[in-house]
Structure formats: C-alpha cells, structure tokens
Amino acid sequence: MDKKEFAQRRKTLMNMMEPNTVAILPAAPMRLRNRDVEYAYRQDSDFYYMTGFPEPQAVAVLIPGRKHGEYVLFCRERDPDAEIWNGLRAGQEGAVERFGADDSFPIEDIDDILPGMLENKQRVFYTMGTHPDFDQRLIGWVNHLRKQARAGIHTPSEFVSLDHLLHDMRLIKSSQEVTMMRQAAVISAEAHRRAMQACRPGMKEYQIEAEIMHTFMKHGARSSAYGSIVGGGPNGCILHYTENTDTLRDGDLLLIDAGAEFEYYAADITRTFPVNGKFNPQQRSLYDITLEAQAAAIEQIRPGKHWNEPHEAAVEVITDGLVKLGLLKGTTRKAIKDETYRKFYMHRTGHWLGMDVHDVGDYKVGGEWRVFEPGMTLTVEPGIYIPAGMKGVAKKWWNIGIRIEDDILVTKKGCEVLTKDVPKQPDEIQALMSAVA
Ligand code: GLY
Ligand code: MN
Ligand code: MN
C-alpha cells in the first residue's frame, strides 16, 4: 500500500468532517500473554487504515484546518536501549518522513498536548468502547478542559462515533486493497489444496492445521485471519470448533475453515471433503445441495442486488434439497416460512470481508438491505449440519457437517470469486486427494 493512498484516505475523511472538529484514533494496545510475553501485536484496523503505522503506543489526531498541519501522530520516541531489546521505532522523525504525519510528538507528552487540540472544538469524532482504557483517558482530558471553562475555554459538546464515516470508506475496497485481498485469497487457496493432499485417516486435526500454517507463513502471511477450524466428523458440526485435537477417522468428513491475513487483509475459505477421499451417499447428497446453494447465492451478487438476496437463494436451495431427501417435512415454502430449515442451517450466508474477517460496514441502510456496489468484498458460505442424536433424523445422516465458503469481489458487471483456486466439485476434490496417493 503506498503512502499516497493513506494520505488520500485522511483527506477524504477530513473532507467529510465539518470545520471545527477533531478525529482521534488510538493504536491497538499491547496485550500480555503471560509473564514478560506479549501476544503477537496486531495494529487496530481503523488506525492502520488511516495511518499505515504499525507500532503500538500511538495516537493519530486529524484536525482539519490546523495551521501547523492537519495530521498529528503521537508515537514512541527513538530509544537506542529499548530498540536493542525490542526492535526499531520510527520516532517523531520517521512519523513525519516515512508515514506522512504533518507533525509528531512523543506519546509521553500526550497529556500535555492533546487537551489543547480539543479546546474550542465543537465536535470530536471518536469510537467509544473499542479501547476502554483509552476511553477513560479521553474523558480525563475533557474533564480537565471543563475545569477551565471560567478561563473562557470551550469544551467540545458532541462526541460522535467515527464508525459511520470510516466504515463506509472501508466497505468499498480500492484497487490496492483488492490486490492484497487477492493475494490473501491465493495463499489461502494453496493452503487448502495442500491440506486436501496431506489428509489421511489416522492423522490429527492439528497436523492438517500445520500444513495450512506452513503455506501461509511460506508466502509471508505471518498469521491466520482467525482461529483455523479443522474439524473431522462430529467436530464439523461445531460452528466455531478450534481445538483441532481429534484424530481423523476413515469414513468421516473433514471441514476446514481457514484463511490467511496478508498485509492486514483477510481471506476466509471453507472446504469440506472426505477424510479418505471418497464421499459416501449421504455425505454426497448433502454436499451437492450445499454446493448448489452456494452457486445460487453467488449468482445473486452484482451491483443493484441487495445484501439479503444471496442468503434467500441459498436458503431456498437448501430447504428444497432437505425436503426432497425427507429430512424436512411439508413443502419447501412452508419450511422456509416456518424457518424449520434452521435446525440444519442456522447461520447466515456471508459477511463483509476485508481488514477484519467479519469486516465493518452496515448491512442495512435506512432500514433497507444494502445494495451491492463494485469494490465490496464478501463471503458466501452456506452449510448443512447434522450432529449425532438429531431428533427425527436417521442415524446414517449423523455427524455430517458441511460448509463451502468463498470470497467474492463485486465488480461493475457482476462478481469475481477470489478463492476459485481450491476445488469444490466432488470429482476435482477426489482427483486432487488421490493425485499423491
Ligand atoms: N471463519 C469465520 C467465518 O466463516 O465467518
Ligand atoms: Mn466467513
Ligand atoms: Mn470461514
């Protein structure tokens, strides 16, 4: 991502802010894992989207119209001793020269400097509740200003969440963002192919997870975008299964939901395939319904269609399929109306995808489903889940959990499947799995 794009984003946001306002974005806090060890640091997505600045202990302030510069970045000072232990810091000079700040101050001085930036401003754009410790500090600065009211200082009277402006920007991906998402998708697709080829009865779920992480890391995606789900048999019916400790059994399906994060952008892919390479008849019939549901949903994605249309299409195919197999009683229409299909398909067909796997952006605008526009990215992930013991369902159907998930870019004319490099047709899956037998 080049510096110009970050500068352009700040400009766009400041153009939407009225005069006499300030926006404040804190970096993500560091989190302790245990004594002396921190969790791998991941910058806050909103902060990174606006700054491209990867370090912790930083605060970005946007002040439209400020004479000494509209973009101020508070960050850590250079410190040769600390840098020997924990790595280089940009410092104030780097903040200006490399990261495009107009002005930069040491983070230690923020208590002295930031309240002055709020003085006599009408409105502060800040998202409360994401970083509670920082919320408290901001309240402290505002209270400090209030005490000076008799000296003629006016305290901002409105605090407005930044979400609406910022998240609407994040919802539509630029061509540079699409390049990153494409790369995340390509890496993740290769990881899923590797997993299919490696899978054998008797292996542990985490051994498959290791194959996936190997491919992510090898291509510079140093983290997954979310905890990988590698669930054999019954575990495929647990939607957010991440233990990944069971043994994979002959005759079971394996559901893998895993995606890489590349340069802050996520992929999110699910494939379901037989541990031994061959679907049994029950698995195959439910798989075919899920695949058809996914195709029907993707068919609904193009500019002008709205957010819920893919979901409606998937529900229709799944319900109809389950009725035809006798797993749902009555007519398809009634099963949809009464939502009896939800016993088998209890989640939605997708979500926005971007810097966060469940990305930002409203799904409804003014009470209406959002209409697709070019540059939006989303997942399409229908599924069917039949855990053991499901009432009214014969035993031969138990322990089948299937989900098929791809990442989609809305284009001018329709859409593009970014994750098409992983097979999902049963024949292709079987061919890939037996290729290295
Ligand atoms: N991997 C999380 C999801 O599919 O939504
Ligand atoms: Mn998903
Ligand atoms: Mn997923």
In the Cβ-directed half-sphere of 49, how many Cα atoms lie within 13 Å?
A: 26
* Residue 150 pLDDT grade (very low, low, confident, very high; cuts 50, 70, 90): confident
Q: What residue ranges in 27-134 does DSSP mark as E strands?
A: 32-34, 37-38, 59-62, 71-75, 103-106, 123-125
Q: How far apart are CA 291 and CA 318, in angstroms?
A: 9
Q: How far apart are CA 166 and CA 11, in angstroms?
A: 12
C-alpha 269 to ligand 3 mean position (Å): 5
Question: What are the b/e assignments for 407-424, b being 16+ CB within 10 Å?
Answer: bbbbbeebbeebbeebbb
Query: Is residue 163 a contact partner of residue 125, using CB atoms and an 8 Å limit?
Result: no
CA 55 to chain centre: 21
Q: Which atom of ligand 1 is the closest one to the Cα of 358?
A: 5
Question: What are the b/e assignments for 352-391, b being 16+ CB within 10 Å?
Answer: bbbbbbebbbeeeeeeeebebeebbbbbbbbbbbbeeebe
pLDDT tens digit string along 199-256?
999 999 999 999 999 999 999 999 999 999 999 999 999 999 999 999 999 999 999 9
Q: Which atom of ligand 1 is the closest one to the Cα of 257?
A: 1
Name the closest ligand to CA 272.
3
How far is the CA of 352 from the CAs of 137, 151, 188, 375, in angstroms? 32, 48, 17, 11
Q: Which of 209, 224, 226 to mutate to test the pocket of ligand 1 (most atoms within 8 A of CB)?
A: 226
Query: Long-range contacts: 63-69, Cβ < 8 Å, 24+?
Result: 63/22, 63/117, 64/14, 64/17, 64/19, 64/21, 65/19, 65/20, 66/102, 66/117, 68/102, 68/103, 69/101, 69/102, 69/103
Q: Which of 357, 380, 385, 408 to mutate to test the pocket of ligand 1 (most atoms within 8 A of CB)?
A: 357
Q: What is the DSSP string of 175-187?
A: HHHHHHHHHHHHH
Q: Which atom of ligand 1 is the closest one to the Cα of 381?
A: 4
143: left (phi over 0), alpha (psi -120 to 50) or beta: alpha
Q: Which atom of ligand 1 is the closest one to the Cα of 270?
A: 4
* Residue 149 pLDDT grade (very low, low, confident, very high; cuts 50, 70, 90): confident
Domains in the chain: boundaries: 3-169, 172-434
Question: Residue of the nearest CA to atom 3 in ligand 1?
Answer: 268
The ligand 1 site (C-beta within 6 Å) comprises 226, 257, 268, 351, 357, 381, 405
Spatial CA neighbour of 416 closest among 203, 209, 175: 175
C-alpha 257 to ligand 2 mean position (Å): 8
Spatial CA neighbour of 186 closest among 220, 136, 154, 147: 220
* Residue 154 pLDDT grade (very low, low, confident, very high; cuts 50, 70, 90): confident
C-alpha 406 to ligand 2 mean position (Å): 8
Residues with CB under 5 A from ligand 2 (ion): 268, 379
C-alpha 381 to ligand 2 mean position (Å): 6
Name the closest ligand to CA 270.
3
Q: How far apart are CA 391 and CA 64, in angstroms?
A: 62
The single residue listed with the structure tokens 């949809």 is 336
Fold of 172-434: Creatine Amidinohydrolase (3.90.230)
294: left (phi over 0), alpha (psi -120 to 50) or beta: alpha
Query: Is residue 74 a contact partner of residue 106, using CB atoms and an 8 Å limit?
Result: yes
Fold of 3-169: Creatine Amidinohydrolase; Chain A, domain 1 (3.40.350)
DSSP state of 405: B
Question: Residue of the nearest CA to atom 4 in ligand 1?
Answer: 268
Question: Residue of the nearest CA to atom 5 in ligand 1?
Answer: 358
Q: Which amino acid is at 400?
A: I
C-alpha 350 to ligand 2 mean position (Å): 6
pLDDT tens digit string along 74-110?
999 999 999 999 999 999 999 999 999 999 999 999 9
* Residue 338 pLDDT grade (very low, low, confident, very high; cuts 50, 70, 90): very high
The total number of residues shown for the chain amounts to 437
C-alpha 357 to ligand 3 mean position (Å): 8
The single residue listed with the structure tokens 């600390």 is 82
pLDDT tens digit string along 11-33?
999 999 988 999 999 999 999 99
Task: Flag whether the pTM goes above 0.85.
Answer: yes
Question: Three-class SS of residue 380?
Answer: strand
C-alpha 376 to ligand 2 mean position (Å): 15
In the Cβ-directed half-sphere of 204, how many Cα atoms lie within 13 Å?
A: 6
The average confidence (pLDDT) of the chain is 96
Query: Is residue 402 a contact partner of residue 384, using CB atoms and an 8 Å limit?
Result: yes
Q: Which of 379, 403, 408 to mutate to test the pocket of ligand 1 (most atoms within 8 A of CB)?
A: 379
First-to-final CA distance of the chain:
42
Q: Which atom of ligand 1 is the closest one to the Cα of 229?
A: 1
| Average pLDDT over every residue of 347-374 | 97
Active site residues: 36, 240, 257, 268, 347, 351, 358, 381, 385, 403, 405
Query: Is residue 8 a contact partner of residue 48, using CB atoms and an 8 Å limit?
Result: no
